[in-house]
Each structure stands twice: as structure tokens, then as C-alpha cells.
Amino acid sequence: MPKKTIAYFYDSEVGNYHFGYGHPMKPHRVRMAHELIVNYGLYQQMKIYKPKIASKQDLMKFHSEPYLNFLEKITRETIQDNIEDMKQFSVGQDCPVFEGVYDFSKICASGSIGGAERLNEGSADIAVNWSGGLHHAKKSEASGFCYINDCVLSIIELLKIHERVLYLDIDIHHGDGVEEAFLTTNRVMTCSFHKYGDYFPGTGSVNDVGVNAGENYSINYPLNDWIDDATYVDIFQTVVGDIMNKFAPGAIVLQCGADSLAGDRLGLFNLTLKGHAECVKFVKSFNVPVMILGGGGYTMRNVARLWTYETSVLLDTDISNNLPANKYFEYFGPNYKLHIDALSSPQHKNENTSEYLQNITAHVLDTLRKIQSSPSVQINTGQPGTGGLNKDTNFTRSDIDSSEKDNVDITKDKLHLEGKDERVVDIDSTTQSKGEFYDGDKDQDGDVAMS
Ligand code: FE2
């Protein structure tokens, strides 16, 4: 089978933002991943893009204008004058105001929107944006370190030409923002595997299956602590295999949150890179256009390891377990290896018994049995009188309506094909000496390492 064309999105500014002292979310992890990807030479096999920054209009396909206006204007100096707005938009605690919060969020979202556009135009089979996957953000509310929901925005873009889009989420946290956005539509199936029970965000019961036309199109697989590779891969393949049969999506968005790895600062699962990436490999095997996104992940060195390894898996390229020299090499001590071990002490015993998993899997498969098999699946078009897309989301009404009228005749204008993202072509010569990355002659990144 010919190799897939991969469009890889990266903005070297992303690592310069900082959520504040002691905050577990560190954008620097994306730069660390990028450095490894470059120094393993993986970039040579991909089309590298610096995303064009999304406009407010682009973001308003999901988010409300007042919320975006607030994010755009708020600074640490003006917090005291905007206490009511801070409360209304849930900004302040987990989602702090930090310098450049709106610009940072736009960078993250832009790669996911641009990636979906590359998939729509057919210039890539797979798009990758490790800055994305910020799945908790709501229409008018920040949540769980997420301000702009790039997952939702990329799905909205894909809906322009695909009748059905599948969203898969292997972050340890429930993909609540994405589920909520598409709760009432059968054009998007969401499926999240997550820790459930006394854990953020608290949603994602196996009984939560969507509502109205979207009933049975929200799939939730709640898990207990310390799930291991073999168990996780088994349930993932069983459930996703069945979804692919029944739902037959035209495109897939896969959120690859790294907080499901063993040893994550906030996570309580026990996956290694190999188990996590096996899910990526399985999704890729269906030969459907895929948008690959990042997500959570709070032990930075392991986030970088994982997303580098998953990039190699997408490229069908074996890479050495010995990490290459790179700018952040000292972060990877003491062994300087790519792969990590699962936790093996008694307190990390898998708390998901076979009986529990059989029960949940049976429940999920029963939910999936209730949807009609493709291609006879009834598509709710979102048109008046058909139940519609989630009224609360206010997204892409005009885009989706127009694409439904003439699915076949997609114009370039509609797909925003022109002048969108900057293709980076000269990375090779600039990375050979010190592993430095430049976006082009005029854009030398001024990295400052953060811990
Ligand atoms: Fe997470």
C-alpha cells in the first residue's frame, strides 16, 4: 500500500506561552515533541505547515462572540475590573488568564482547522496537530486548561464534505466539550475512553448516549485506575471496530491525549507508548482521512516521547529507542530512551476486572446495535424540521446547510483552499547542525527552555 501523505502543523511560537507558575499545562511540551520529530528526521517524510492564524469569524463557528471578545481583551492587569465576566466564562482557576492566552488558543486551533482543510481538499491523507486536542472548551466557557475547542472546529470543517465524522478520544479525561457540541446530531459520533468516578470533568457515564437525533451517537467507555496496554487496546479495537462497521465515517478526528500514559503527573492509567500508539495504528488501518490531535499530558518528557513515536507510527517508520541529540536532551534522563515502562508495583494493579470490562463492552455494543448500519443510516441533515444540530452550539449553520445542498460541487472558496497555511520547505538545511528549527528565512524561533 502506498505511503500516506501527512500534513504536519506546527507554529514555533506555541512553546513560548506559559500558563503560570506551577500550572501543570506546559505548552513547551509541544516544542519538545517537535524537536524530537525533527531530530529523528521524521519531518523529511511529511508536508510541514505553519498554520494561518484563524480569525474570530472562524472561531465563531463554534464559540460565542462575547466569549471570544472577552478572551481577546482580558489581561492579568484587567482581571479585577472583569470579575463578573471571569465567572461567566469560567476563567481564573484551572484556566487562568496568562499573557497571550487568546493568541495561544488561536495557534492551537489554527492547526486543527488547517489540517481539516488539507484533508477536505485531498492534499493529505492524515493531518497532525500536536498543539490541538483541547477537548474540554465549551461554546462560551473555558474548562480543563482549554479555551478554544479545536476538536469541534476541525469536525465542523470536515462536515463540509463528509456526511459522517467520527471523533475518538484516548485522553484520560472525558471528551466532554466535543460530546456536548454534537450531542443532538447523528452526523458526528463521539467516542471517549476515560477514567470515570471522582475525576475531572465528572461526565462520561456509559449511560450517556446522546439525545434526540443524536441518541446512541455519543459513546462513553468509563474506566477505573491503572488500565494496562493489553486491556486498553483490546477494548479500543473491539469498540472502534464495531463503530467503523456501523457508522462508516467519512473522516475521523483522533484526540491523542498523553495523560493516559503511565507516570503522568495528573493521570492514573498505566499505558506505555506502544499501547497508546496501537490505537493510532488501528485507526490508521481503516484508510479513512484522519485528523490527529494532541490533548492532555502533564509529564512533559513522556508527552514528547509519545507524540514523536506516534508520528513515526503514522509514517510506518521505525525509529531508534535511543533518543537523538536534541535541544532538550537533558529532560530525558537518566536513560535517554524513547520508550517507557509500565508501572509494576502492587498499588498500580489494573482495577478494571475482566468482568467489569465485559459488562461495559456489552453495554456499548448494545448501544451501537441501536443505530442503523451504514449506508442506510438515517442522516439528520440539520435542516429545519429534522431535529437539527445542537441548538446550543450555533456552529456552521450556513456552512453545513450549503454543503448539504450540493455535497458534490465543492468550490475552492467554500473550502478556504487559497492562501491558508504556509508550507515550510527549508527545514532540512537548518536542522542538521544543532537541531534548531526555523519556519523560514524570516522567522527564526527564539526558544527559551522552560521547566
Ligand atoms: Fe486530559
- In percent, how much of the chain has pLDDT > 90? 82
171 Cα to the center of ligand 1, angstroms = 5
Answer yes or no: 34 catalytic. no
377 Cα to the center of ligand 1, angstroms = 32
Q: Cα–Cα–Cα angle for 230, 232, 233, nearest 5°?
A: 65
Residue of 28, 136, 276, 416 marked catalytic: 136
Tell me the per-residue pLDDT of 102-126, one tens digit each, with 9 for 90 and over. 999 999 999 999 999 999 999 999 9
134 Cα to the center of ligand 1, angstroms = 9
Rounded Cα gap, residues 358 and 108, in angstroms: 37
Q: What is the pLDDT of residue 426?
A: 58
Please report whether residue 427 resides in a domain: yes
Please report whether residue 33 resides in a domain: yes
Q: pLDDT class for 374, splitting at 50, 70, 90?
A: low
Crossing angle for the helix pair 229-247 and 354-369, to the nearest 10 degrees: 10
> What is the pLDDT averaged over residues 307-333?
98
Higher pLDDT pick, 412 / 82: 82
212 Cα to the center of ligand 1, angstroms = 28
Say whether pLDDT at 396 is over 80.
no
Please report whether residue 251 resides in a domain: yes
Q: pLDDT class for 427, splitting at 50, 70, 90?
A: low
Sign of the dihedral through C-alpha 65, 68, 70, 72 = negative
312 Cα to the center of ligand 1, angstroms = 23
Please report whether residue 94 resides in a domain: yes
Higher pLDDT pick, 142 / 2: 142
Q: What is the pLDDT of residue 385?
A: 31
Q: pLDDT class for 79, splitting at 50, 70, 90?
A: very high
Q: What is the pLDDT of residue 48?
A: 98
What are the φ/ψ torsions at residue 50 (nearest 5 degrees)?
-100, 115
Q: What is the pLDDT of residue 422?
A: 87
Q: Residue 353, exposed/middle/buried by CB under 10 A (0-12, 13-18, 19+)?
A: exposed
102 Cα to the center of ligand 1, angstroms = 20
Q: What is the mean pLDDT of the chain?
A: 88
262 Cα to the center of ligand 1, angstroms = 13
155 Cα to the center of ligand 1, angstroms = 19
Please report whether residue 447 resides in a domain: no
Tell me the per-residue pLDDT of 181-230, one tens digit each, with 9 for 90 and over. 999 999 999 999 999 999 999 999 999 999 999 999 999 999 999 999 99
- The number of distinct structural domains making up the chain is 1
60 Cα to the center of ligand 1, angstroms = 24
Crossing angle for the helix pair 101-121 and 65-73, to the nearest 10 degrees: 130
Please report whether residue 448 resides in a domain: no
Tell me the per-residue pLDDT of 21-69, one tens digit each, with 9 for 90 and over. 999 999 999 999 999 999 999 999 999 999 999 999 999 999 999 999 9
Q: What is the pLDDT of residue 208?
A: 98
> What is the pLDDT averaged over residues 250-258?
99
428 Cα to the center of ligand 1, angstroms = 33
Please report whether residue 205 resides in a domain: yes
Contact 67, 148 (CB under 8 A): no
294 Cα to the center of ligand 1, angstroms = 10
267 Cα to the center of ligand 1, angstroms = 8
CATH code, 78? 3.40.800.20
Which pairs count as long-range contacts for 367-373, CB under 8 Å and 24+ apart, including other chains?
367/209, 367/216, 367/219, 368/216, 368/219, 368/239, 368/242, 368/243, 368/246, 368/247, 369/246, 370/215, 370/216, 371/186, 371/216, 371/217, 371/246, 371/247, 373/245, 373/246
Residues 6+ apart with CB under 8 A from 277: 306, 309, 310, 313
Q: Which domain holds residue 374?
A: 6-442
> What is the pLDDT averaged over residues 312-323?
98
β-strand pairing of 251-255 with 47-50: unpaired
Please report whether residue 451 resides in a domain: no
β-strand pairing of 6-9 with 290-293: unpaired
Rounded Cα gap, residues 294 and 107, in angstroms: 13
Say whether pLDDT at 418 is over 70.
no
